[in-house]
Structure formats: C-alpha cells, structure tokens
C-alpha cells in the first residue's frame, strides 16, 4: 500500500512570497491532517479534514494560511504572504477514520525555509 505522498520535499522562498504544498493521502482514508513542525518542537496540528469538510482549524493562522481538500482526496496548504516564522516542516497525515483506534500515517514532510 502506498504511503502518504507530499510535494515538494523542500522549498525556499523569500518573505512575503506565497507557497503551496500538496498532499496525497492513503487511498480510502477519510481523515486528513496538516501539521506544522518548527525546529526543536513537536508537530502542531494546523487543520483537520473529514472527507472534504473542515473538522478543526482552530490553530490555523487564517490571515495567511489556507487549505482545501477538493473531492475529499488530495489537499493543498497555502501560505500567502509568508513570514520568517513560517520556516518549518509541514507534515501531512491521514487516517481511515478520526479515532484513536485508527493510526495516523504521516508523509515525509515539506521543509520550508523563508529568507
């Protein structure tokens, strides 16, 4: 079974530019998560989708971050405009259903550097 795919793996941009990340979850997984992992910290949930609906976006900086999951499969996370403090690894994860009984599977992440 193919894992969670993310692209690009690395991205370097200047502050105030925009950037987008793409995630393809494991086939059949209804729940998709985006996490932000700043260097030296644990992952922090940004947004959770159940199919194509948002379940939790309480920690998403909505003035600059946006995310969508069209058709309940692939997802994109966008930052516009980027700030220096957005430098982090952005992780996508998926699970069959939203429950502790079902493991979250993580992709390799996209490392963003904002200069």
Partner 1 sequence: GDSVTQMEGPVTLSEEAFLTINCTYTATGYPSLFWYVQYPGEGLQLLLKATKADDKGSNKGFEATYRKETTSFHLEKGSVQVSDSAVYFCALSSVYNTDKLIFGTGTRLQVFP
The site for partner 1 (CB under 8 A) is made up of 3-4, 31, 40-45, 48, 56, 91, 93, 95, 98-100, 102-109
Q: How far is the CB of 104 from partner 1 (least distance, A)?
A: 7
Residue closer to partner 1 (CB basis): 47 or 82: 47
Q: Least distance in Å: CB of 89 to partner 1? A: 10
CB of 17 to partner 1, least distance (A): 26
Is 54 in contact with 71 (CB distance < 8 Å)?
A: no
DSSP-derived secondary structure for 4-49:
-EEE-SEEEE-TT--EEEEEE--TT--EEEEEEE-TTS--EEEEEE
Question: Least distance from C-beta 16 to partner 1, angstroms?
Answer: 29
- Of the candidates 2, 1, 3, the residue with the CA atom closest to the CA atom of residue 104: 3
Single out the residue of 9, 21, 39 nearest to residue 80, CA to CA. Answer: 21
Closest CB to partner 1 among residues 44, 62:
44
In this complex, which beta carbon is closest to partner 1, that of residue 73 or of residue 96?
A: 96
């Amino acid at each position: 079974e193919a894992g969670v795919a993310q692209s690009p793996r690395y991205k370097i941009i200047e502050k105030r530019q925009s950037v987008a990340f793409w995630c393809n979850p494991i086939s059949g997984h209804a729940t998709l998560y985006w996490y932000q992992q700043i260097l030296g910290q644990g992952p922090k949930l940004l947004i959770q989708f159940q199919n194509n609906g948002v379940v939790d976006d309480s920690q998403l900086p909505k003035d600059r971050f946006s995310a969508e999951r069209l058709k309940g499969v692939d997802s994109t996370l966008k930052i516009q405009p980027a700030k220096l403090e957005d430098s982090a690894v952005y992780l996508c994860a998926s699970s069959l259903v939203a429950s502790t009984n079902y493991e979250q599977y993580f992709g390799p992440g996209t490392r963003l550097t904002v200069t």
